[in-house]
Structure 1
């Protein structure tokens, strides 16, 4: 039986090729995902560990304490020069380095920001006794000295074209600074290796810039030869101030960093593997379909084996051996292709600017094992049911082909199960739309509904394909035959259409959700914000109040309101207060008041969002006590209740009331109106007025909407690319089905040729059959996708009040056209093969 199974594999190479391709694509996706995430994770971990090569023990401020110099912190730093000297003198210490770090935006020669947000950092050059910092060897120039000098990492300097002696524009907290570039250094810093930038100042300058006068953010101690990290840590613990600082070994820091990177990569890995699973799920339909038809075509052969003594178990085992061989071939080729995909994804990340640290391509033993198991197990599972069904057919019945038609009982059972699954799934989705957190329920319901529709697809195929009859009649005999062929074997048609249905369901659903969220974001930005521009830090950190003062002094600016946050306590519970310029706030926003109004937002008068008002039981005129950030108490009066959203919410108070109680005044953003409204000239004027500051972002409403929705757009484009895999697998399924259908109908096609249907008519018949099957799957997929998109939108609307369902008719039409194109392309080879059949040989074929 084993030799028979191998002969069957070799005898049906062309038919099994499509199955191999389907499995291979899914396995390639899985192995590519594992290779890519392992490679990136290892590269980042190796890069981050290099940063701890000179750190045996790190002294850090306890996380429960506020950072030195930060709001709410002590006026004296916890980690100062005195503690640094103590750490350097403990037994077993070779040297101690004090580090300071923070955000530093570097401008290129055009004045634009180099790098992105948090990847643009600054620190201190800690000169030792020899005047050098071992962490940052100078490639050219000298270390910075004084408040007007700095050094830059070689990667950023080369990218921007800067040389020693150049004057570079940079910013730390808002105001632009011009510093002389005195040195260019090399570094193993992980942020720089990943495409970020690093600027170094002398220690006093860095302490002043990063709000740590006289203090450090960390003290790194190097162990003397022969001293272990743990022994050094024990000695340092003895000199640390109680409850103020803590020591950690360099190995522990590196391990923690590695775990954090691995955790971040787990999310990406999970997301990619989900779509690999979808591709495999779609591939299962093709594999099961292929083996069902292969078994059906060999029914007499299997019956003969049964007649000469083969048992049911041996017949089933023969089919499973075939599946194992096919799965193994597909798994090996898929794994090899996956390694290429992993390397390609890494190169793609580098080409988009997301620089990845250098490192080898990682192909772990687990990746090899998982790839092989996935390919073989999926194929064997998909082939098990056809093999079992073939073994149950009595030999005499098989030889007489009595088995061909499914029994009424089996159809009733199938349709009943499908209806139960679909009903339960639809009910779960509908119930989830009314829940506050129904993600899990909706996900389970969607899965059940998808499975239910798949089971019911043979039942749905006849009435839906019948709708195409009037159109097919226009193609004469070829059209009529195509319709009959499409419904002749509903199970085969259903399995083929379902592969395409799954892909289009996901693509359509995601498109509906993304379009609706984008509409909601646009609506939110348009309705609540009337300011022409919003100025903020490029990394979303607090903004210096000097920026608002500078804007207020520009001739073209007509209204300015800084938006700042301050912690407070109301009724004994923490509550954030939002400070604005009460005089201009009404000109810059358009709040939808449900009770009261904005009025005169000065003194102790405030407006609150509806959620806060409902929680506290406040109405216009309500007075409530508040404890401000500095501990002083006051009383505020509600003048209006408005509908809050993601952009503007909470308790809004005049900055003149809030500022005297703030320990450190910083703005989150600044809203601005100009004389000429929004225009390129107005924006350029603001940028120039702010000194072409690389740390500042000047955005209009369109920019704000795009920045919020950018993540959705990026995710959607990635998902389109990933789901394209499922569509490719679906195309293979259609080709596979048609090719086998042509083989099954060789006698019929030969007879049609003999009675006068020409080759063009045969080709048209096969193409129309493929088109009808593909459109059937497309209609089901788009219908389910719209339903899932609507249901998911009901959940999203709970957190996005301006959410509005948008049906992208243009894209839906494009997806339907894609389904039709799949049908046309998939039919090219089978149609050509059918037309080239020798009519006499086909009529004689069994």
Structure 2
């Protein structure tokens, strides 16, 4: 009953806490809802196009069969084995190749694949060699000629027919020269599809994935799905960051609200309340107020999810067709975390208030004599030690692991500084406010001494500023430091005089390096071929308890001699001179060493065991290198991302490749373009990572300072009774707000610098010019925003309070 009476009489005092809990629950439930919607691909078009007429699609198996679009191809020679399974009427290899037309990139397929799509000719005939069938939406008619650039150069194809749906089909012979088998589609009799799929799995074994029903859409390329796959990792980090910020702010705000009521607890103890009754009352208040706020806040997560999704769509981080739907479990998660954090936030202050005797409570109600508790010491030092330990460990682990360790060290420093703030603040306040000590006026003295006296209040009100600037500074700085190191590494290793890139960005075919070599026979020409490899899962987990080593993904086929003279990779162990057929280079993050072997599947489905010839720094954009002849043998569709030329000027190279659909730039312009592309991607990533979380911390600054200002009614009244004018009182409150922001920003800058020093130290093992990039501009903007919010949240209520009768 006492708790309910307190809620009714003190609802205004609890309002700020309830707002913090509600907004925190909304932030968590909204972020979790959006992440769940991305995982479920809400709103994506799932209509089948490539395999609409194939009830069963067979692909190769990978280490983890998730919803990625880059499943490996099936093993070579699989189609005849599948055709022999009873109930299968046809097993058609789907041969796919990338190509470039005058009107843009296109995905070509062999003519046999038209049966898998269920497409029909509406005019003309099937393609012979040198011919193509196109969709009628292309506007082309039989007899027209199209110019196509495949991996082996330019071809002129005659349009032989037109389909009733979009497509680009060449003869099976041409497709075999230019592409690889991506999957095998099966046409079946009237046998049950599920039973037939089970028979296929039994006949072929675990080396393939058999897809039926809606699962077939995962075998089709879908740019929207690929975009959401990329967004999943980004939003996972964003959701974790949102949870950290929400928990930090809610716990800080609730503990501050309870600590403001020491006089109330003292009076309860004076009239005979037992310590357990005081604690029980606070817990019940937290349960009721926090539960109601968390319930309402979790529902606010639904419109927050929609607003966040709209922002991501505007930033082109998710497809325009993405339409997130609300789900029950993310709302439950937001409610549960909000309630639990509210209860935890009240736990320390409630135990402290219930532990003291009535006289001691009355004494503590006036002045905070012991702002540091044993719990704050323990957890503060623990987080500080954890941050330092992660920086130290990062200097001894592989580069990728070191980056992962140090990127989030800033958050550990933020928590440590917030917990240790009552100890750190007095010297920081003295340092920041030393000009005020020399001032002769009363107002500067009141600002300085008031902050030094009410250390706990300053610590609580500076906490949202600390987390706002600290999280923004450490995250932005980490991305900027990594980008700077990557850019410095590229500029140091790129020695080519000219770089040839595709005008469309799809890749450079074999005709370009041939033209350059013919025009400049003395020049060094390096044309690495981009391909994809898939690591075959070992029978047993490795020593780290993982399957595989993370080699799956992009790879380059290179000539080691020309590569080292134009774009020399950072070799950690071994030598590129040993890269020959049957070998591979791997990133240092894989944990593999020179001489180890690894089984990989190539673009044509063939699997080989390769020996590690060299270990390359993970900071390189593509650390998996193969002999160029190996890539040519397994991936006829492979194109060069760029062609590097040394010993010939850009003008001479430009003259040699004129009309081939490529651009020629010097190495400085190429490095600048790569850096600009990375910076654009980093800015979009920061929008997703920090946008909503920093908006919430901004609201937390306003909320906390409003609570603190309204709690100072008696102090402001005494200030008026002592002769101060309302204008002078406002200046005192505004000065303290400025001091709070400066203190919070100072601790945030320290957290940022320490974390970035650790990251730069980890990167320095492979990049000579690695240095911390402190984002002073972003920190300055964040500080100014915090200052504006703090002044608005203190000056306006203080002005209102100071214009009331002082005696009241």
1:782–1:812 CA contact under 8 A, matched in 2: no
Equivalences for residues 595-674 of structure 1 within 5 A: 646=620, 668=640, 669-672=642-645
Is 1:22 the counterpart of 2:8? The answer is: no
Which residue, 396, 403, 424 being the options, matches 1:460?
A: 424
The alpha carbon displacement at 1:708 in A equals 6.7
Is 1:102 the counterpart of 2:96? The answer is: yes
The alpha carbon displacement at 1:775 in A equals 1.0
Change (3 A) 1:364 1:174: farther
Q: Distance in 2 between matches of 1:823 and 1:733?
A: 13
The alpha carbon displacement at 1:432 in A equals 1.6
The alpha carbon displacement at 1:12 in A equals 4.2
Q: Distance in 1 between matches of 2:769 and 2:90?
A: 55
The alpha carbon displacement at 1:465 in A equals 1.2
Change (3 A) 1:149 1:350: farther
Is 1:207 the counterpart of 2:175? The answer is: yes
Which residue, 254, 258, 261 being the options, matches 1:295?
A: 261
Aligned counterpart, 1:387: 350
Aligned counterpart, 1:194: none
1:98–1:126 CA contact under 8 A, matched in 2: yes
Is 1:122 the counterpart of 2:136? The answer is: no
Aligned counterpart, 1:189: none
Q: Distance in 2 between matches of 1:491 and 1:677?
A: 65
The alpha carbon displacement at 1:275 in A equals 1.0
Is 1:797 the counterpart of 2:795? The answer is: no
1:124–1:206 CA contact under 8 A, matched in 2: yes
Change (3 A) 1:519 1:834: closer
Aligned counterpart, 1:151: 134
Is 1:317 the counterpart of 2:280? The answer is: yes
The alpha carbon displacement at 1:461 in A equals 1.3
Q: Distance in 1 between matches of 2:157 and 2:433?
A: 77
Aligned counterpart, 1:634: none
Is 1:837 the counterpart of 2:798? The answer is: no
Q: Distance in 2 between matches of 1:577 and 1:807?
A: 31
Runs (5+) with no aligned partner, structure 2: 64-72, 534-554, 596-612
Aligned counterpart, 1:747: 714
Is 1:41 the counterpart of 2:39? The answer is: yes
Change (3 A) 1:759 1:433: same
TM (norm. structure 1) is: 0.71
The alpha carbon displacement at 1:375 in A equals 1.9
Provide the aligned length of Structure 1 versus Structure 2: 737
Which residue, 643, 647, 659 being the options, matches 1:689?
A: 659
Aligned counterpart, 1:248: 210
Aligned counterpart, 1:78: 77
Q: Distance in 2 between matches of 1:171 and 1:577?
A: 20
Change (3 A) 1:716 1:376: same
Change (3 A) 1:185 1:652: closer
1:174–1:547 CA contact under 8 A, matched in 2: no
Q: Distance in 1 between matches of 2:201 and 2:723?
A: 97
What per-residue deviation string (whole Å, max 9, x for no partner) do you get for residues 28-72 of structure 1?
2322222223323323797558566644333557889xxxxxxxx
1:763–1:834 CA contact under 8 A, matched in 2: yes
1:533–1:673 CA contact under 8 A, matched in 2: yes
Q: Distance in 2 between matches of 1:54 and 1:659?
A: 35
Aligned counterpart, 2:397: 436
Aligned counterpart, 1:514: 479
Aligned counterpart, 2:490: 525
Change (3 A) 1:175 1:412: same
Equivalences for residues 815-834 of structure 1 within 5 A: 815-816=779-780, 818-834=782-798
What per-residue deviation string (whole Å, max 9, x for no partner) do you get for residues 752-774 of structure 1?
33444333222221111111111
* SS at 1:836 equivalent: helix
Q: Distance in 1 between matches of 2:665 and 2:386?
A: 47
Equivalences for residues 317-716 of structure 1 within 5 A: 317-353=280-316, 356=319, 358=321, 361-395=324-358, 398=361, 400-407=362-369, 411=372, 413=374, 417=378, 420-421=381-382, 424-425=385-386, 427-437=388-398, 439=402, 449-472=413-436, 476-535=441-500, 544-553=509-518, 560-563=525-528, 580=559, 588=566, 646=620, 668=640, 669-672=642-645, 677=650, 688-690=658-660, 692=661, 700-704=667-671, 706-707=673-674, 710-711=677-678, 714-715=681-682
2:269–2:275 CA contact under 8 A, matched in 1: no
* SS at 2:806 equivalent: helix
Change (3 A) 1:331 1:539: farther
2:56–2:212 CA contact under 8 A, matched in 1: yes
Change (3 A) 1:331 1:766: same
The alpha carbon displacement at 1:8 in A equals 3.6
Change (3 A) 1:34 1:488: same
What per-residue deviation string (whole Å, max 9, x for no partner) do you get for residues 499-537 of structure 1?
322332332233333333333333333232222333467
The alpha carbon displacement at 1:324 in A equals 2.9
1:106–1:168 CA contact under 8 A, matched in 2: no
**Aligned-residue CA RMSD (Å):** 5.3
Change (3 A) 1:558 1:838: closer
Change (3 A) 1:701 1:417: same
The alpha carbon displacement at 1:477 in A equals 2.8
* SS at 1:689 equivalent: coil
Q: Distance in 2 between matches of 1:45 and 1:739?
A: 42
2:25–2:301 CA contact under 8 A, matched in 1: yes
What per-residue deviation string (whole Å, max 9, x for no partner) do you get for residues 727-760 of structure 1?
4444444434433443343233234334443332
Q: Distance in 2 between matches of 1:39 and 1:765?
A: 49
The alpha carbon displacement at 1:218 in A equals 0.9
Runs (5+) with no aligned partner, structure 1: 65-72, 115-119, 187-197, 568-575, 618-637
Change (3 A) 1:142 1:353: farther
Aligned counterpart, 1:195: none
Aligned counterpart, 1:191: none
2:461–2:705 CA contact under 8 A, matched in 1: no
What per-residue deviation string (whole Å, max 9, x for no partner) do you get for residues 417-437 of structure 1?
477436633641453243124
Is 1:771 the counterpart of 2:738? The answer is: yes
* SS at 1:432 equivalent: helix
Change (3 A) 1:741 1:29: closer
1:564–1:580 CA contact under 8 A, matched in 2: no
